[in-house]
């Protein structure tokens, strides 16, 4: 029996525009080889910084392009080592590990179906050291798939202004929207002084190009760029220039349409399968992204379930790995086919006991 | 007047095999796009790890391929944060900064024309904490251009065995040899248990591919690979696969011949110009690499000279930046043309006062 992975939060291979990227890579080397094959600016390939700057309405000097956006998080954590950072709970596990490794005091604030709870955040701000920043993934969150509502977005930005807070808006999934109107980003609501915006081309073009970026206040961009120089001298300009060529050719929107269609079908398959197989559980209903958050009956231990599920040929990540409750699980629908999704949910459901009747 | 840079330790643009790399990048994406454009192993592109493993006679699992070799130094410094590290003096400034940033206690040990002084190292080992490792660039050292003699190499490896020491042999320039027989590497003399070997393809193919590597004891490779996962998930496989394709096609040796010829001519031009223009100074006579170490008359302040030199249209890096004496300077001959080298040395010499007669 082939194992079915709801654990891998990565795009299905058919999402990646291989042929087009091959041609982009060849062309940028032939056209601009002396630049992209040499040492260059630590902040990234300038034409790409300009493109990103224009998209977000900022000076390109405020854009730091890194070898994947996690690398930017490492620089930020290095910059604020030993300080306090507020995160939403559950949240993406890799930043938690990076922050912990730099002696950061992490305060986790509750979220619900509407995203980070602003009242809980306000409460956390009343006690303890002023945080260096608040880390949030407001759209199609990893791991929960939840999206912060427009009202709460406004409230969060107000809180940032009231408390002179820095907010890090991590938004890798925002453009992978299958339906519905996108809410304004925190960055747009703020005007770009209190909010750092981070994203990447991993979900919109290809993860292997390792091109992530941060839009920062100017002085902070310069501090992080100095850390970049001391880490790798120059990021991989070849990947960045390849991405820029892809964008320059106008390929982003058509590619997004293709990716949205491929992944939307998978999201639909997973929602339908859950409805059919696990009617007594709860789950998030994301309008995009990669993930669904599954809340199993209260007595279910997702860790124990995961062991049995592995034997039954289906895997996921238990919610506890992201700071979630013991009965929760992150299901990624991005990597597997709709048929595999239906079969995987069936295998999973066969292992879950319904709640005890009252 | 165009400024002439002896400061830039980077290859001249004509050293970079642009056309061939363009074709390699296109081919690896077309052939292996699903792999090189996706997330993958944090330790690097497997075929390249195999190639490097074979070259050094080790299991590919001991090879960590990073986004440039400095990134590997960052991982090593993170692993040994707060410990003691012995370096040679002068030495490459970036690692010094990285180590200092991790609270490493750095002991600098003297070198002379024959490289690191083993007696000075033995002395340093007698006092203080046992070092986490000894950092050396034994061949065509940055900044001095000096090469550790075969006798001293053997003595250094003996010391490592006697004291159960780890030695980091940083060897990015070894293959860029214009003349003479290469001495054995420390790694070869040791057998690969006490010596970590690090190198990169920046000087042999192109710096912009950002492909460096470390050959490590197995357990340490796994520890550093875990740090790599927590930093960038996957390195830039596109650059690594492009390098592998370049190697697979048998292009390395012909390219090295070309690079050696281009840079050897520059080294010759600089040695001749120094002989002609600065007969009262001393300098190293490297058989390869990028750098010449200039020792000016004892009363000369290279920092003050650098300011005047900038105005006169020639730049270098003052030796003090590498821990060298105040009358020393690093001259890179790698970036500029032979004509520029002759003119640059002329401009420099016009600013240096001969020693006061006795």
B289 backbone φψ class: left, alpha, beta (φ>0; ψ -120 to 50): left
Q: What pLDDT is attached to residue A356?
A: 73
Q: Is A311 exposed, middle or buried (0-12, 13-18, 19+ CB in 10 A)?
A: exposed
Q: Are B47 and B264 in contact (CB under 8 A)?
A: no
Q: What distance separates the 2 farthest-apart alpha carbons in chain A?
A: 72
Tell me the C-alpha to C-alpha distance, in Å, between residue B24 and each of A19, A327, B175, B212. Answer: 14, 49, 22, 18
The residue with tokens 């940032």 is A160
- A175 in helix, strand or coil? coil
Q: Which residue of B has its CA nearest to A237?
A: B208
With vertex at residue B314, the alpha carbon angle to CA B309 and CA B315, rounded to the nearest 5 degrees, is 80
- Which residues are registered as beta bridge partners of A241? none
- Which residues are registered as beta bridge partners of A170? A198
End-to-end CA distance of chain B: give it in Å, rounded: 37
Q: Same domain, yes or no, for A86 and A149?
A: yes
Q: What pLDDT is attached to residue B358?
A: 61
Percent of chain A with pLDDT over 90: 95
| pLDDT tens-place string over residues A75-108 | 999 999 999 999 999 999 999 999 999 999 999 9
Q: Same domain, yes or no, for B158 and B61?
A: yes
**CB distance A234–B208 less than 8 Å?**
yes
Chain A residues with CB under 8 Å of B27 CB are: 22
Number of Cβ within a 10 Å radius of residue A1: 9
Going by their DSSP bridges, the two strands B282-283 and A211-215 should be labelled as: unpaired
What domain count does chain B have? 2
Chain B residues with CB under 8 Å of A27 CB are: 22
| pLDDT tens-place string over residues A110-143 | 999 999 999 999 999 998 899 999 999 999 999 9
Report phi then psi at B170, rounded to 5: -95, 115
Tell me the HSE value of A81 on the side-chain side, using a 13 A CA sphere: 10
Residue A186 lies in a domain: yes
Tell me the C-alpha to C-alpha distance, in Å, between residue B184 and each of B132, B139, B149, B153, B154. Answer: 24, 10, 10, 8, 9
Show Cβ contacts of residue B250 under 8 Å, excluding neighbours closer than 6 positions. Answer: none
Q: Are A281 and A297 in contact (CB under 8 A)?
A: yes
Domain boundaries, position B80 = 18-248
Q: What are the percentages of helix, strand and coil residues in chain A, rounded to 5?
A: 45, 15, 35
Q: Which of B21, B40, B70 sits opposite A208 (nearest CB)?
A: B40
Chain B residues with CB under 8 Å of A23 CB are: 26
Question: Does B5 reach chain A within 8 Å, measured CB to CB?
Answer: no
Q: Which of A33, A98, A238 sits opposite B230 (nearest CB)?
A: A98
Chain A residues with CB under 8 Å of B92 CB are: none
Show the low-confidence residues of chain B (pLDDT under 50).
none
Our CA-based measurement puts residue B235 at a distance from the nearest CA of chain A, in whole angstroms, of: 7
Our CA-based measurement puts residue B34 at a distance from the nearest CA of chain A, in whole angstroms, of: 6
Q: Are B30 and A21 in contact (CB under 8 A)?
A: no
Chain A residues with CB under 8 Å of B29 CB are: 18, 21-22, 25
Q: Which of B248, B273, B301 marks a domain boundary?
A: B248
Distance, CA of B215 to CA of B72 (rounded, Å) = 10
Chain A residues with CB under 8 Å of B26 CB are: 22-23, 25-26
Q: Which residue of A has its CA nearest to B8?
A: A39
Show Cβ contacts of residue B240 under 8 Å, excluding neighbours closer than 6 positions. Answer: B36, B44, B45, B48, B65, B209, B211
Q: Same domain, yes or no, for B297 and B215?
A: no
Residue B126 lies in a domain: yes
Q: Same domain, yes or no, for A129 and A172?
A: yes
Scored b (16 or more CB within 10 A) or e, B76-106 reads bbbbbeebbbbbbbbbbebbbebbebbebeb
DSSP letter string over A105-141? Answer: EEEEEEEETTEE-HHHHHHHHHSSSPPSEEEE--SS-
Distance, CA of A14 to CA of A270 (rounded, Å) = 18
Chain B residues with CB under 8 Å of A40 CB are: 208
Q: Same domain, yes or no, for A224 and A84?
A: yes
Question: Does B23 reach chain A within 8 Å, measured CB to CB?
Answer: yes
Q: Same domain, yes or no, for B283 and B241?
A: no
Q: Same domain, yes or no, for A185 and A283?
A: no
**CB distance B16–A38 less than 8 Å?**
yes
Question: Does A22 reach chain B within 8 Å, measured CB to CB?
Answer: yes
Residue B358 lies in a domain: no
Our CA-based measurement puts residue B123 at a distance from the nearest CA of chain A, in whole angstroms, of: 31
Q: Same domain, yes or no, for B293 and B167?
A: no
Number of Cβ within a 10 Å radius of residue A282: 14
Residue B357 lies in a domain: no
Q: Which of A231, A248, A265 marks a domain boundary?
A: A248
Of B70, B107, B19, B51, the C-alpha closest to B241 is B51
What are the structure tokens assigned to A186, written together? 């925190």
- List all residues of chain A from 47 to 86 with a beta carbon under 8 Å from chain B: 67-68, 70-71, 74
Q: What pLDDT is attached to residue A355?
A: 81
CA dihedral A146, A150, A151, A155 (to 10 degrees): 90
Contacts 24+ apart (CB under 8 A), B354-357: B354/B280, B354/B297, B355/B280, B355/B297, B355/B298, B355/B299, B356/B299
Of B358, B354, B350, the C-alpha closest to B299 is B354
**CB distance B29–A13 less than 8 Å?**
no
- List all residues of chain B from 138 to 197 with a beta carbon under 8 Å from chain A: none
**CB distance A30–B39 less than 8 Å?**
no
What are the structure tokens assigned to A18, written together? 């291989």
Distance, CA of B103 to CA of B95 (rounded, Å) = 13
Question: Does B95 reach chain A within 8 Å, measured CB to CB?
Answer: no
Tell me the C-alpha to C-alpha distance, in Å, between residue B262 and each of B19, B146, B283. Answer: 18, 20, 21
Q: Which of B13, B67, B237 sits opposite A208 (nearest CB)?
A: B237
| pLDDT tens-place string over residues B36-90 | 999 999 999 999 999 999 999 999 999 999 999 999 999 999 999 999 999 999 9
- A64 in helix, strand or coil? strand
Distance, CA of A312 to CA of A305 (rounded, Å) = 10
**CB distance A236–B34 less than 8 Å?**
no
- A244 in helix, strand or coil? helix
Helices (H), B208-330: 218-232, 237-248, 252-277, 302-312
- List all residues of chain B from 286 to 345 with a beta carbon under 8 Å from chain A: none
pLDDT band, very low/low/confident/very high, at A358 (cuts 50, 70, 90)? low
What's the whole-number average pLDDT of chain A?
A: 96
Q: Same domain, yes or no, for A317 and A239?
A: no
Q: Same domain, yes or no, for B162 and B295?
A: no
Question: Does A200 reach chain B within 8 Å, measured CB to CB?
Answer: no
Residue A357 lies in a domain: no
Report phi then psi at A167, rounded to 5: -115, 130
Question: Does B232 reach chain A within 8 Å, measured CB to CB?
Answer: yes
What's the whole-number mean pLDDT along residues A338-343?
98
Our CA-based measurement puts residue B25 at a distance from the nearest CA of chain A, in whole angstroms, of: 6
Chain A residues with CB under 8 Å of B70 CB are: 231-233
Q: Same domain, yes or no, for B277 and B177?
A: no
Residue A264 lies in a domain: yes
| pLDDT tens-place string over residues A176-223 | 999 999 999 999 999 878 999 999 999 999 999 999 999 999 999 999
**CB distance A38–B11 less than 8 Å?**
yes
Q: Which of A248, A277, A302 marks a domain boundary?
A: A248
Residue B143, preceding peptide bond in cis (omega within 30° of 0): yes
Q: Which of A19, A74, A238 sits opposite B209 (nearest CB)?
A: A238
Residue A229 lies in a domain: yes
Show Cβ contacts of residue B56 under 8 Å, excluding neighbours closer than 6 positions. Answer: B63, B187, B192, B197, B215
DSSP letter string over B113-171? Answer: TTEE-HHHHHHHHHSSSPPSEEEE--SS-TTT-----HHHHHHHHHHHHHHT--EEEE-
Question: Does A1 reach chain B within 8 Å, measured CB to CB?
Answer: no
Q: Same domain, yes or no, for A101 and A66?
A: yes
Distance, CA of B72 to CA of B64 (rounded, Å) = 8
Q: Which of A22, A39, A208 sits opposite B30 (nearest CB)?
A: A22
Residue A156 lies in a domain: yes
- Which residues are registered as beta bridge partners of B200? B212
| pLDDT tens-place string over residues A295-332 | 999 999 999 999 999 999 999 999 999 999 999 999 99
Q: What pLDDT is attached to residue B193?
A: 84
pLDDT at A353 over 90: no
CATH number for the domain spanning B34: value is 3.40.640.10
Q: What pLDDT is attached to residue A34?
A: 85
Our CA-based measurement puts residue B122 at a distance from the nearest CA of chain A, in whole angstroms, of: 30
- B184 in helix, strand or coil? coil
Percent of chain B with pLDDT over 90: 95
Of A167, A154, A219, A159, the C-alpha closest to A194 is A167
- Which residues are registered as beta bridge partners of B215? B63, B197
With vertex at residue B70, the alpha carbon angle to CA B210 and CA B198, rounded to the nearest 5 degrees, is 90
Scored b (16 or more CB within 10 A) or e, A321-340 reads bbbbeebbbbbbbbbbbbeb
Distance, CA of A255 to CA of A258 (rounded, Å) = 5
Distance, CA of A29 to CA of A26 (rounded, Å) = 5
pTM for the structure as a whole: 0.94
**CB distance B37–A236 less than 8 Å?**
no
């Amino acid at each position: 029996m082939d194992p079915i992975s709801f654990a891998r939060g990565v795009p299905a291979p058919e999402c990646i525009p291989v042929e087009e990227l091959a041609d982009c890579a060849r062309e940028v080397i032939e056209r601009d080889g002396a630049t992209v094959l040499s040492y260059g600016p630590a902040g990234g390939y300038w034409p790409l910084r300009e493109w990103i700057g224009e998209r977000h309405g900022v000076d390109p000097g405020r854009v730091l392009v890194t070898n994947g956006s996690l690398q930017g998080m490492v620089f930020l954590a290095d910059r604020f080592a030993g300080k306090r950072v507020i995160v939403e709970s559950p949240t993406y596990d890799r930043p938690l590990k990076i922050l912990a490794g730099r002696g950061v005091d992490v305060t986790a604030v509750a979220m619900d179906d509407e995203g980070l709870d602003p009242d809980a955040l306000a409460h956390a701000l009343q006690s303890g050291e002023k945080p260096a920043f608040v880390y949030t993934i407001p759209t199609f969150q990893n791991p929960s798939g939840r999206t912060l509502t427009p009202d709460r977005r406004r409230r969060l930005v107000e809180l940032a202004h009231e408390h002179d807070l820095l907010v890090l808006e991590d938004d890798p999934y925002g453009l992978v929207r299958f339906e519905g109107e996108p809410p304004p980003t925190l960055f747009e609501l703020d005007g770009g002084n209190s909010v750092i915006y981070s994203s990447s081309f991993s979900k919109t073009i290809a993860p292997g190009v390792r091109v992530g970026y941060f839009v920062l206040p100017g002085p902070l961009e310069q501090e992080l760029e100095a850390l970049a120089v001391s880490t790798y001298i120059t990021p991989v300009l070849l990947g960045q220039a390849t991405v820029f060529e892809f964008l320059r050719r106008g390929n982003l929107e058509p590619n997004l349409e293709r990716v949205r269609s491929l992944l939307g079908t998978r999201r639909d398959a997973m929602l339908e399968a859950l409805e059919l197989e696990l009617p007594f559980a709860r789950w998030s209903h994301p309008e995009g992204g990669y993930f669904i958050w599954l809340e199993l009956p209260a007595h279910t231990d997702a860790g124990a379930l995961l062991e049995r599920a592995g034997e039954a040929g289906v895997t996921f990540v238990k919610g506890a790995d992201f700071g979630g409750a013991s009965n929760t699980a992150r299901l990624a629908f991005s990597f597997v086919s709709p048929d595999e999704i239906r079969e995987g949910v069936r295998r999973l459901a066969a292992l879950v006991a319904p709640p005890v009747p009252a």
